[in-house]
C-alpha cells in the first residue's frame, strides 16, 4: 500500500523528482571524488614536496566541494517542496473522501481515527518522502560508488567490505523486524488516546456534574500508559540502532588501519590510498546507516499508508447517480413508498414499510418512543443513508437518481443535534445561503425567535461562536440552526426534534412565526411534544420502525392507543379530550 500511495500521489511531481535524482547523483559523485583528490595530494604533493601540485589539486577540491554543497542545497529545496506537495494532496484526498461518506462510513471508522489518519498518518508518510528524496536517493549511489572507488584505491583490502557491509545490513534488518509490530500497535494506541481525549473534552461538563474526574483520569492514564509502553518498546530497539552502526563502523575503521598499515609497510599500498580507502569505507557505512534510518521509518510509514489507503479505498454507501436527474417537473413534494432501512449486520430493519405523501403547504409529523426510527426516516430524505427497500421520492424523483446538489438545495435540514461551526453568528447563518444579506439574517432570526439574544450580544451578527456552539445555550443553538435553515428558503423543511431545548412559550411563538414562512413548503417534523405537532396535517405514530397510527390529532386520540398513551403522559385530561 505504501508504494501504491507514494506512486499515485507523486506522479504530478515526476519532473521535480528527476531534478532531485540528477542533483543527488551529481552531489554524490562530487563527494566520492574528494577522497581520491586528497589521496593524490598526500602521495604526489606532500610526499614529494610539490607545493604547486598541492595548491592546484586543493583548488580543484574546493571547486568540487562547492559543487557538492550547491547540489545538496538545491536537492533539499526540491525535496521539501515535493514532500510538502505530496502531503497536501493526500490530506486533500482524504478530506474529500471523508466528505463523501455517509453516516455509515463515518461511524465505521470513528471521528478520532479519521482525524489521526488525516494528520499524524499523513505526516509520517510525508516525512518518509522527504527523507527518501534527501537521503535514500543518495545512499545507493554512495554505496555502489564507494565500493568501486575503494576497490580502485586498493583491491587487496576489498575483502573488508564484503565483511563489514553484510554485517551491518543483517544487524539493521534484525532490529527493524523487531520494531514493525510496535509501530503497528502504536498507531492503534494513538487512535485510542485521541478518542478518549476528544470524548472527555466534549463531555467535560457531564464529567464534572457527576464528579467523575478521577474515573476519567484513570481511563486516560491507562490509555496513555499503554501508548507509552509500546512507544518505549519501539524506542528501545531504536536506541540500539545507532550504537550498533557506530560499533561496526569503528571496528571496520580499526580493521582498515590494521591491515592497511601492514600493506603500507610492505610497500603494497601508499599512505594516501590508505587514507582514501578509509574515507570510502566511512562513506559506504554512512550510506548504509542512512538507508538504515530510512528502513527505520518505512515500517511505521507502511502502517500509516495502509490506514490512509483504507480510507481512500472505501466507497460511500451513498453513491451519486451515474446519470443524475437535473430537472424536475414537480416542486416540493415528498413521498415515502414502502420504505425499509436496515443497518449493516442488523437482524431487524430499523424502518419497515413506511408510506406517506406530502406536498407544498402540508405538515407531516412523526412521533414515537425513543429508538423507534424517527430520525432515521428523516435522514433518508437528504441521503445521509440510502433505503434498503422501497423508495424515497423528492419532487417526484427517487432521491437516488437526483443530482446531489439539486437534492440538497431543495432541503432545509435542522438536525437533532444542532451543530454550529466556529466563527460568528453571521458565518453560521451564511451556511444556509452564502449571499444572504444582513436584513435577511435578521428576518430569519426573528422568525426563529433568536433576534433578541443576538441583539443582546455586543457584536450582534459578528458575535463569536465557539466550535459546536458551546458558548451559547442549547435553546440558542437550536434557534440559530433553525434560522440557518430558514435563510435557505427551501422547498422541504426537515425538523428533526429541533424544538426540544425550547421552553413551551418560545416553542409556541416559534411555531406561530413559522406558519406563514413555511406555507408554500413541505414540512416534515419529528418531535416528542404533542403540543408541537398537534396541528399537523398528518401525524405518523411510529413504534419499532413501523407506522402504527396515522391521521390528525383528534383522530389518533380516538383510534390509536400508542398515541393516546403519549398524549396522556404529556397533557392534562382536559387537553386530551
For 397-438, how does the pLDDT look when each residue is reduced to its tens digit (9 = 90+)?
888 888 888 888 888 888 878 778 888 888 888 888 888 888
Helix, coil or strand: residue 464? strand
Give phi and psi for 11, each to the nearest 5: -60, -40
Q: 341 - beta bridge partners? A: 351
CB atoms within 10 A of CB 433: 18
Grid coordinates representing 190 are 494513538
* Digit-coded pLDDT (tens) for 338-397: 888 887 777 788 888 888 888 888 888 888 877 777 888 888 888 888 888 888 888 888
pLDDT in the model for residue 74: 92
- The answer to whether residues 460 and 445 touch, using CB atoms and an 8 Å cutoff, is no
Collect contacts of 530-533 with beta carbons under 8 A, ≥24 apart.
Answer: 530/367, 530/566, 530/567, 530/570, 530/571, 531/504, 531/507, 531/570, 531/571, 532/365, 532/499, 532/507, 533/365, 533/367
Cα distance between residue 393 and residue 402, in whole Å: 9
Residues contacting 194, CB < 8 A, separation 6+: 112, 113, 115, 116
Residues contacting 250, CB < 8 A, separation 6+: none
Cα distance between residue 412 and residue 408, in whole Å: 8
pLDDT in the model for residue 60: 87
Cα distance between residue 282 and residue 465, in whole Å: 60
User: Quick one: which of 363, 358, 294 has its CA closest to 142?
Assistant: 294
Does residue 6 surpass a pLDDT of 80?
yes
- Tell the residue number behind the cell numbers 413541505, with chain if given: 522
Does residue 572 surpass a pLDDT of 60?
no
N-term to C-term CA, the chain: 67
* Digit-coded pLDDT (tens) for 51-109: 888 888 888 889 988 998 999 899 989 999 999 999 899 999 888 888 778 777 787 78
- The answer to whether residues 277 and 53 touch, using CB atoms and an 8 Å cutoff, is no
Grid coordinates representing 74 are 538545491
- In this prediction, residues 493-514 reach a mean pLDDT of 81
Higher-confidence residue of 240 and 80: namely 80
- Tell the residue number behind the cell numbers 457527576, with chain if given: 210
Mean pLDDT of the chain: 82
Alpha carbons within 13 A on the beta-carbon side of 461: 17
Asked whether the whole model's pTM tops 0.85, one would answer no
In Å, what is the CA distance from 494 to each residue of 132, 319, 414?
52, 22, 6
Cα distance between residue 148 and residue 352, in whole Å: 76
Cα distance between residue 354 and residue 345, in whole Å: 21
Q: Which helix (H) or strand (E) holds 390?
A: strand 389-394
- The answer to whether residues 267 and 216 touch, using CB atoms and an 8 Å cutoff, is no
- Which residues of 185-266 form beta strands (DSSP E)? none
Cα distance between residue 93 and residue 118, in whole Å: 9
- The answer to whether residues 526 and 378 touch, using CB atoms and an 8 Å cutoff, is yes
Cα distance between residue 229 and residue 186, in whole Å: 9
In Å, what is the CA distance from 150 to each residue of 273, 285, 374, 569?
9, 12, 78, 92
In Å, what is the CA distance from 515 to each residue of 212, 413, 494, 518, 535?
45, 17, 14, 5, 11
pLDDT in the model for residue 571: 64
pLDDT in the model for residue 577: 42
Does residue 121 surpass a pLDDT of 70?
yes
Q: Give the dihedral of Cα atoms 9, 15, 17, 19; nearest 10 deg.
A: -170
Cα distance between residue 230 and residue 361, in whole Å: 61
Does residue 267 surpass a pLDDT of 50?
yes
CB atoms within 10 A of CB 91: 18
Residues contacting 524, CB < 8 A, separation 6+: 334, 358, 363, 364, 365, 366, 378, 381, 492, 493, 494, 495
Look at strands 464-465 and 423-424 and give their pairing: antiparallel
pLDDT in the model for residue 573: 40
Among the residues of 203-212, which ranges form H helices?
Answer: 204-209
* Digit-coded pLDDT (tens) for 151-173: 777 777 778 878 887 887 788 77
- In this prediction, residues 231-249 reach a mean pLDDT of 82
- The answer to whether residues 575 and 400 touch, using CB atoms and an 8 Å cutoff, is no
What is the phi-psi region of residue 391: left when phi exceeds 0, alpha when psi lies from -120 to 50, beta otherwise? beta
Amino acid at each position: 500500500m505504501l508504494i501504491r500511495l507514494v506512486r499515485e500521489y507523486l506522479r504530478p511531481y515526476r519532473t521535480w523528482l528527476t531534478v532531485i535524482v540528477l542533483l543527488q547523483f551529481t552531489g554524490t559523485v562530487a563527494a566520492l571524488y574528494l577522497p581520491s583528490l586528497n589521496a593524490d595530494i598526500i602521495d604526489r604533493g606532500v610526499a614529494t614536496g610539490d607545493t604547486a601540485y598541492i595548491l592546484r589539486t586543493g583548488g580543484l577540491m574546493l571547486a568540487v566541494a562547492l559543487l557538492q554543497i550547491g547540489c545538496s542545497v538545491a536537492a533539499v529545496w526540491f525535496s521539501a517542496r515535493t514532500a510538502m506537495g505530496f502531503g497536501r494532496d493526500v490530506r486533500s484526498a482524504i478530506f474529500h473522501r471523508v466528505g463523501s461518506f455517509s453516516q455509515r462510513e463515518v461511524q465505521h471508522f470513528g471521528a478520532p481515527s479519521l482525524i489521526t489518519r488525516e494528520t499524524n498518518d499523513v505526516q509520517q508518510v510525508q516525512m518518509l518522502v522527504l527523507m527518501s528524496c534527501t537521503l535514500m536517493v543518495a545512499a545507493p549511489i554512495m554505496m555502489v560508488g564507494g565500493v568501486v572507488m575503494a576497490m580502485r584505491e586498493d583491491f587487496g583490502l576489498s575483502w573488508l567490505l564484503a565483511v563489514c557491509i553484510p554485517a551491518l545490513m543483517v544487524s539493521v534488518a534484525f532490529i527493524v523486524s523487531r520494531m514493525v509490530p510496535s509501530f503497528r500497535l502504536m498507531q492503534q494506541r494513538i487512535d485510542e488516546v485521541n478518542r478518549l481525549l476528544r470524548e472527555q473534552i466534549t463531555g467535560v461538563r457531564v464529567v464534572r456534574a457527576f464528579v467523575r474526574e478521577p474515573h476519567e483520569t484513570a481511563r486516560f492514564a491507562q490509555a496513555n500508559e499503554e501508548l507509552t509502553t509500546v512507544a518505549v518498546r519501539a524506542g528501545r530497539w531504536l536506541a540500539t540502532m545507532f550504537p550498533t552502526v557506530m560499533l561496526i563502523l569503528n571496528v571496520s575503521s580499526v580493521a582498515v588501519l590494521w591491515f592497511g598499515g601492514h600493506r603500507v609497510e610492505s610497500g603494497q599500498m601508499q599512505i594516501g590510498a590508505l587514507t582514501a580507502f578509509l574515507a570510502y569505507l566511512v562513506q559506504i557505512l554512512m550510506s548504509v546507516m542512512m538507508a538504515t534510518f530510512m528502513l527505520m521509518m518505512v515500517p511505521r510509514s507502511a502502517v500509516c499508508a495502509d490506514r490512509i489507503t483504507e480510507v481512500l479505498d472505501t466507497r460511500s454507501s451513498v453513491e451519486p447517480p451515474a446519470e443524475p436527474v437535473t430537472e424536475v417537473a414537480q416542486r416540493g413534494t415528498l413521498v415515502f413508498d414502502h420504505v425499509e432501512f436496515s443497518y449493516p449486520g442488523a437482524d431487524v430493519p430499523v424502518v419497515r414499510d413506511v408510506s406517506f405523501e406530502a406536498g407544498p403547504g402540508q405538515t407531516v409529523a412523526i412521533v414515537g418512543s425513543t429508538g423507534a426510527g424517527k430520525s432515521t426516516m428523516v435522514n433518508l430524505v437528504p441521503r445521509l443513508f440510502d433505503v434498503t427497500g422501497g423508495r424515497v421520492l423528492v419532487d417526484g424523483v427517487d432521491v437516488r437518481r437526483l443530482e446531489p446538489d439539486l437534492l440538497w438545495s431543495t432541503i432545509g435540514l435542522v438536525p437533532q443535534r444542532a451543530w454550529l461551526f466556529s466563527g460568528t453568528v453571521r458565518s453560521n447563518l451564511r451556511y444556509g445561503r452564502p449571499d444572504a444579506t444582513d436584513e435577511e439574517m435578521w428576518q430569519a432570526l426573528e422568525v426563529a425567535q433568536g433576534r433578541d439574544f443576538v441583539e443582546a450580544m455586543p457584536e450582534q451578527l459578528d458575535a463569536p461562536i465557539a466550535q459546536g456552539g458551546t458558548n451559547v445555550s442549547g435553546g440558542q443553538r437550536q434557534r440559530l440552526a433553525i434560522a440557518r435553515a430558514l435563510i435557505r428558503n427551501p422547498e422541504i423543511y426537515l425538523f428533526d426534534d429541533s424544538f426540544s431545548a425550547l421552553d413551551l412559550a418560545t416553542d409556541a411563538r416559534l411555531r406561530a412565526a413559522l406558519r406563514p414562512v413555511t406555507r408554500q413548503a413541505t414540512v416534515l417534523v419529528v418531535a416528542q411534544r404533542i403540543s408541537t405537532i398537534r396541528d399537523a396535517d398528518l401525524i405518523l405514530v411510529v413504534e419499532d420502525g413501523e407506522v402504527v397510527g396515522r391521521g390528525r390529532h383528534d383522530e389518533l386520540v380516538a383510534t390509536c392507543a400508542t398515541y393516546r398513551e403519549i398524549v396522556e403522559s404529556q397533557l392534562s385530561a382536559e387537553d386530551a379530550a
